[in-house]
Structure 1
Amino acid sequence: MQKNYESRHIFIAISIVIAVASPIFLLFVPITIANNIHYTTETWFVFLSPAVYLVYGTGFFLLFVAGLLLAIFNIKKLPILLSTICVVLSIFVFYTASQHYEAISEKGIYYRPLFSENKYAYSWDDLTKVIHRMKPDRSASKYEFIFQDGNSITIGENGYFQDIKQQIFHELEERNIKIK
C-alpha cells in the first residue's frame, strides 16, 4: 500500500516540528553560536543579553510562518513568495543575533551591542568603576562596568558569572577598582 502525502501535509509537519523544537533550540543554540564565533583561548566566558534570545525566537517564528503559509495556501505563487521572504528575513535575523556578544577575558571586556556595527574592546586598565546592582528582594544581581570613555556594559550575575567572579575581582583588585 503506497502512502500519498500531499505537500501541504509535509509543510504542516515542518511547521509543527519548528514550533515544538524552537523553545528547546532557544536554550542552547544562541550561546553555542556565540561561543563558536566569539570565544578565544583567552576568553573566560561569552555572555548574551536576554534580548538576543527574543531575536532568535523571532527568527524561529519566521521559519514557522514560512512553512505554515505553504501549508495553508497549498503552494501557490503568493504564498511561495511570502514564505521565501520569511526564510530570507529569518536568515538575516539569525545573522544579526549571532553578531551580538559580551565577552570577559584575561585581557579585558569585549562586546558588540545588538543591532550595532560597533565592536568595543576594553582592557582592564580602561575600567573606571564597577557598580553592583541588586533587586530589593535579592533575586537578581547585575554588575555594570563603566569605562573611561563613558561607555558601560551590564552583565547579570548567573552561574557562569559566579564561575569567573574571583578572576574578575582579582583584576579589579590589581587596579584598585572598588565595587560600589
Structure 2
Amino acid sequence: MRDKARTVISPGNALVVIMLLVAILGLSLALIVQQSMNLTALAGNDALTSSQAENAAGSEATTQSDERVDEQSDEQSDAADSPAAESHNATQDSEPQGQDASNAIAGNDTRININTATLEELQTITGVGPVTAQRIIDHRNTVGRFTSVDELMDVSGIGAKTLEKMRDQVRVE
C-alpha cells in the first residue's frame, strides 16, 4: 500500500491553477461573444444588401416592363380596337413585375408565414425537412413569434446559406 499521495498540491498552487482556468474561461467567453457579434453584423449587412438588390431589381424590372408596354402599344396601335388585343393588353398589365410587385398584390403572396405555418407547410420550403420544420415550430413556441425572417438563424440547423435559399419563400406577419 501507498502511504503518500502521488502528487501534492499546496493551497497556493491550487489557487494559481484555479485563477488560470478562470482566465482561460473568460477569454473563451469573450471570443464567443465577439464571434456572435460579427455574425449578427454580417447577417444584418447581408439582409441590407439583399433588400437593396431586390429594390434595384424591382425598379429595373418595372422600368423594363414600362418600356416593353410602351413599345407594344406603339406596335399594336392599329389592332387596339379588337377584343383579342384588349384581352392581351389586360393580361400584360396584370402580370407581376418583379417579386415585390407580385407580393404587394393582395392574395397573390404565396410565401409561407413562419409564424402560422404548420409542420407540413414548413416542409415545403427549400432546405427544410421534418426535423428543421419541427425546430422552427419549437423555437416559435418557446421564444415567441418571429419578427423578421433573419431570426430563423436562431433555429438550430439553419445557417446563412440555408436562410438565403429560404428567404424568397417565407414571410413574417
Asked whether the two chains share a fold, i.e. TM above 0.5, the reply is: no
Higher helix share: 2
TM-score of the aligned structures, taking structure 2 as reference length: 0.29
TM-score (norm 1): 0.29
